[in-house]
Structure 1
Amino acid sequence: MQFDLESALLRLKQDFIEGSLEKLDDIDTIIDNIYNDRGDRGEQFFQLQRDVHSIKGSAGTHGMHLLTLVAHRLEDFIEAAPRLKQEQWRSVQIYIDELRTLVDMGKDPSAHEREQILARLPHAQDTATEFTNQKSKKVTVLVVMPPGVQRKVIGKELASCGFDLSFTDRPVEAIRLVMDLQPDAVLANQEFRNMTGSELGRVLREIKLTEQTPFALLTSSDGHENDLPPGSHIIKKGESFVSDLTEYLVEIGLFGKL
């Protein structure tokens, strides 16, 4: 009996679609429970994160790249406001509804539909504690840094200023995110396992779509000036880090876009 690879792949994709729809149904129940203060909030919240991460991790395998990106953006939204208020759970529901639409579609939408879907997604600016009464343009900042205290501090500071945030701890993924999101700035740690922040900066300068994206290296050590492409910036970690970061964002005009 001859093995039919195409049929096998279609079955795997259908299994993924059915499994994802079940996860999204479960997430609907979780959101309703948390919104109405039912059950163990912490455990339900972690289950939601696990299910979203599972969908994100498998979608690309089946050619559903926008599904991966929307799931990633939901993770960004949650990280930017880890203690979601009741009204912000309605924003999470918008993400889940868009994920369900994409899963049902079973493939990537057209470029026009893609832009419409991304434009509908709530972002970190909606969770900000400042500038909330101001009509503003979305300003996206990509933070390339391992999870931890420093990333939380930076995320909190940037979210409080009304920026739309995206996070990753993998420079290779950052390249894809810069191309997909076209952020207004990239802030990257120096030390990673497979690619340094300096190398990431050089790669972004070599890609036509990303060559003009402002790039800043976040580091506590010296000697990286010659490793970075022209136009890059270094922000030293230390006592004046937050003020230096703010000064850099002002310098490249991000506050002027708010």
Structure 2
Amino acid sequence: MAIADEIAARLTGEFLDDAGDRLARAQIALNKLANRPKEARPLLLDLAREIHNLKGTGKTFGFPTISLIADRFEDYLEANAEKTPFPIADLQRFADALSDIIERGRNPEADRATSILRGLPSVFDFDPEAISGQPGRALVITRARTLGHMLARELANCGYRTQTASDPFEAMRFAVAEKPDIVLSSAVLDGMSGIDLLRAIRSIRPTASLPTAVVTSFDAGHPELAGLPKEVSVIRLGKTLSDDLALVLTNAGEVSRA
């Protein structure tokens, strides 16, 4: 084995050992949460700390799916921290997904990773009795967790399950693999602009026909919106957000039926 390969293998092994230890501590916190709900606050902090560390190291060591699951785990923890009774069973699904990858010792292939992510609990889900037909699937890309939660809640009210992402490159991969019913992106992201991301999605064959929209507080003509494709809708942050989103979803439904 070449020295570089040996170093990479050793680092991967050390990461998996560390990840296994962190997940074991997270599992202990989960078990205690189930049995001692009155002690929830310190246990939630312990759980959040371990999951946050997994999120930060997964991608670095060639396990981007661990980072994606941990990011979703954090979202779910934050959104449900005050919920009674606490959704232990849902949190266990996140922990089990992480455990499966760590035990296998390799990052899953794209199709398997997509299946795992789709099977995780959603922060906001729709009321099946309030909609007709099949639920929609939305991809929301934003670096602001609060905005992601707000959009996911609005989308749930319209019968959409939402996958959120903060990394535009991971979002691009997900869009190609999953082909959601609609893609919403903030104008400002880390790594590339939301405008560039939406242009990329519209420019390649697998995703060229996906309904897309940018979510922004910028006025028309702002430099940050330069290059926005004419096919990309605009959703304004503020009092018109719900109306703008409803119009975009209506148009997206018409496109999907065409």
- Which interval holds the TM-score relative to the shorter structure? 0.7 to 0.9
1:74 aligned to 2:73?
Answer: yes
2:221 to 220, 223, 227: 223
Aligned length: 252
1:187 shift after superposition: 1.3
Q: Which has the higher contact order (CA 8 A, sep 6+)?
A: 1
**Could you tell me how far apart the structure 1 residues matched to 2:198 and 2:146 are?**
23
* One-letter amino acid matched to 2:221: G
Residue by residue, what CA displacement relative to the aligned partner does 1:40-84 show, whole Å, maximum 9, x if unpaired? 423332332332232233223333343333333434444565544
- Which 5+ residue runs of structure 2 have no aligned equivalent? none
**Aligned: 1:179 with 2:173:** no
Work out the CA distance in 2 between the residues paired with 1:193 and 1:108.
Answer: 24
Structure 1 CA distance for aligned equivalents of residues 65 and 146 of structure 2: 30
Letter in 2 for 1:184: D
CA distance in 1, matches of 2:84, 2:136: 22
Please report the TM-score for the alignment, with normalisation by the length of structure 1.
0.79
Q: CA deviation at 1:194?
A: 4.8
Percent of paired sites with the same residue: 26
The match for 2:54 is 55
For 2:251 and 2:56, the matched residues in 1 are separated by: 37
Q: Residue in 2 aligned with 1:191?
A: 188
What are the residue-to-residue correspondences of 1:110-121 with 2, within 5 Å?
Answer: 113-114=112-113, 117-121=116-120
Aligned counterparts, 1:209-220, within 5 A: 209-220=206-217
Aligned amino acid, residue 227 of structure 2: D
| Mapped partners of 2:133, 2:7: distance in 1 | 48
Q: Which amino acid aligns with 2:104?
A: M
The 3-state SS of whatever aligns with 2:229 is: coil
Deviation at 1:33, TM superposition (A): 2.3
Secondary structure at 1:195's aligned position in 2?
coil
Conservation of the 8 A alpha-carbon contact between 2:80 and 2:86: no
**1:156 maps to 2:139:** no
* Cα pair 1:78 1:84 within 8 Å, conserved: no
> Pairwise CA RMSD of aligned residues?
3.3
Q: Which amino acid aligns with 1:92?
A: L
Structure 1: any 5+ residue segments left out of the alignment? Answer: none
1:214 Cα shift?
A: 1.4
Shift of 1:129: 6.4
The match for 2:14 is: 15
User: Given the superposition, is the C-alpha separation of residues 43 and 177 from structure 1 closer, same or farther in structure 2, using an over 3 Å criterion?
Assistant: farther
SS state of the match for residue 187, structure 1? strand
Match for 2:20: what amino acid?
L
Aligned-pair distance for 1:234? 1.0
Q: Which amino acid aligns with 1:238?
A: G
Secondary structure of 2:205's counterpart equals coil
Q: Give the match for residue 246 of structure 1.
A: 246
> If the length of structure 2 is used for normalisation, what is the TM-score?
0.79
